[in-house]
Amino acid sequence: MQTIRVETPSAKYDVFAGSGLLQTLAPRIERTIGKLPRRVFILTSPEIWALWGHSVQQSFREAPVVLFLPPGEKHKNMASVERLTREMARSGGDRGSLLIAFGGGIVGDVGGFVAAVFMRGIPYVQVPTTFLAQVDSSVGGKVGVNLPEGKNLVGNFHQPRAVFADIAVLGTLPERELRAGLMESVKAGIIRDRALVRYMEEHADEVLAGNAKALEKVIADSIRMKAAVVSKDERENGLRMILNLGHTVGHALETATGYKAMLHGEAVGWGMIATLYLARKRGTISPGQFDRMEKLILRYGPLPPLNVRAAKVVAATSGDKKNVGGVRRFVLPVGIGDAGVVEDVTPAEIEAAVEYMLGRAQSLERAKSLAAQ
Catalytic residues, by residue number, are: 120, 142, 184, 226, 236, 240, 244, 247, 251, 264
Comparison of 327 and 371: residue with beta carbon closer to its own copies: 327
Q: How far apart are the C-alpha atoms of 225 and 157, rounded to whole Å?
A: 19
* Shortest Cβ 32–its own copies spacing (Å): 18
DSSP 133: I
Rg over CA atoms, the chain: 20
Of the candidates 183, 198, 210, 184, which has an alpha carbon nearest to the alpha carbon of residue 302?
Answer: 183
Q: How long, in residues, is the chain?
A: 373
**Distance (Å) of CA 203 to CA 17, 117, 218, 293:** 20, 42, 10, 15
Q: How far apart are the C-alpha atoms of 136 and 142, rounded to whole Å?
A: 10
Comparison of 32 and 85: residue with beta carbon closer to its own copies: 85
* Shortest Cβ 237–its own copies spacing (Å): 10
**Distance (Å) of CA 180 to CA 61, 177, 186, 315, 332:** 36, 5, 10, 25, 21
Q: How far apart are the C-alpha atoms of 263 and 180, rounded to whole Å?
A: 7
Comparison of 287 and 326: residue with beta carbon closer to its own copies: 326
**DSSP SS3 for 258:** coil
Comparison of 33 and 119: residue with beta carbon closer to its own copies: 119
- The angle at the Cα of 328, spanning 327 to 331, to the nearest 5 degrees, equals 130
* Shortest Cβ 328–its own copies spacing (Å): 10
Comparison of 138 and 185: residue with beta carbon closer to its own copies: 138
* Shortest Cβ 118–its own copies spacing (Å): 7
* Shortest Cβ 239–its own copies spacing (Å): 16
**DSSP β-ladder status, 162-166 and 40-44:** unpaired
The 8 Å CB, 24+ separation contacts for 285-292 are 285/333, 285/334, 285/335, 285/336, 286/335, 289/333, 289/335, 289/336, 292/197, 292/201, 292/336
242: left (phi over 0), alpha (psi -120 to 50) or beta: alpha
- The angle at the Cα of 177, spanning 22 to 334, to the nearest 5 degrees, equals 105
Comparison of 264 and 328: residue with beta carbon closer to its own copies: 328
* Shortest Cβ 92–its own copies spacing (Å): 8
Residues at the site binding its own copies, with contacts judged by CB under 8 A: 37-38, 78, 81-82, 85-86, 89-90, 94-96, 116-121, 142, 144, 147-150, 152-157, 235-236, 319, 321, 323-326
Of the candidates 183, 169, 200, 192, which has an alpha carbon nearest to the alpha carbon of residue 135?
Answer: 183
Q: How far apart are the C-alpha atoms of 19 and 21, rounded to whole Å?
A: 6
Give the relative orientation of helices 347-372 and 264-282 as an angle to the nearest 10 degrees: 120
Q: How far apart are the C-alpha atoms of 148 and 68, rounded to whole Å?
A: 22
* Shortest Cβ 126–its own copies spacing (Å): 17
Comparison of 327 and 370: residue with beta carbon closer to its own copies: 327
Comparison of 81 and 279: residue with beta carbon closer to its own copies: 81
* Shortest Cβ 80–its own copies spacing (Å): 11
